[in-house]
Amino acid sequence: MLAIIGFVVVVLGVVGGFTLGGGKLLVLLQPAEFVTICFAAAGSMLISVPIKTLKAIMRDVAGIFKASGADTTLYMDVLRLLNDLFQIARKDGIIALEPHVNEPHESAVFQRYPHVLNNHSGCPFICDTIKIFLVGSVPAHEIEMLMDAEIETHHEEAAVRPATLARVGDSLPGLGIVAAVLGIIITMGKMDGGAAIVGHHVAAALVGTFLGVLLAYGFVNPLAANLEVKNRNDARLLYVIKAGITAFAKGMAPSVSVEFARRAIFCSERPTFEEVEEMIRAARR
């Protein structure tokens, strides 16, 4: 929602300033310049990255205009889920978690927390890590190393998408210059048409430079920055899960393991100690 508001504010600021300065909006409507810049940018993306990455970028950009990922509600659900799983393992043994992690969408425990169940990275991370417990006696430090490796892989893979988008954003001013030069070339063929016609074509050419800079710094680069923040939050969610599971693997009590996970949450989304304590007490009732 904030992204949509931001887009509107950028457009209103640019158009409003241009209008207040006495400019005519119709001058900015230059489809040829827009087509040149956008198609060149799209072509550069096709050249630079595989189709799988392009699809992932489109999914990520579409997700920006939906509800955000990690927040206090999601973190509380993660802490509740970890507490439930740890309590089951402590009471009935680790083998009791097998049906829950093998089929999380069929598990009554996971179904209580749809935010976690539908999270594309958090739910598989929990399930795959607990499956290691089921395989046999794996030392806690090796499980921690395994989780670190997955988090690093996740971060490296996710970083490609905003970096690609940022490179395209950085190229847009140059592509705007390309569109402007093409416009000047067209203008050269209209030199015998009089000052009014030449002035119109020069203005149209300058719109190309304007569009390139506006698209870069008003839209594409901010979208790339938004994706970077989203990826950081996704990675933080995995670190939270890792902290809780590592503590439990080292023999900590479920409530202490959950506290380890809580401390790994960023302060802006971290629930208080009292909130988590009340949550654990409510789960015991």
Residue 217 lies in a domain: yes
Alpha-carbon gap, residue 224 to 237, rounded angstroms: 20
107: which residues sit within 8 A by CB, 6+ positions away? 99, 100, 101
Low-confidence ranges of the chain (pLDDT < 70): 67-70, 284-285
Residue 7 lies in a domain: no
Residue 10 lies in a domain: no
Alpha-carbon gap, residue 15 to 44, rounded angstroms: 28
pLDDT at 64: 85
201: which residues sit within 8 A by CB, 6+ positions away? 183, 186, 187, 190
Alpha-carbon gap, residue 171 to 53, rounded angstroms: 19
Residue 12 lies in a domain: no
Residue 154 lies in a domain: yes
pLDDT at 221: 96
What's the pTM value of the predicted model, to 2 decimals? Answer: 0.84
Residue 267 lies in a domain: yes
pLDDT at 67: 56
pLDDT at 95: 92
pLDDT at 186: 87
Q: Domain of residue 42: give its range.
A: 29-284
Residue 11 lies in a domain: no
pLDDT at 28: 87
Number of structural domains, the chain?
A: 1
pLDDT at 161: 93
Residue 3 lies in a domain: no
Long-range Cβ pairs for the range 262-268 (8 Å, 24+): 262/79, 264/236, 264/239, 264/240, 265/75, 265/236, 265/240, 266/236
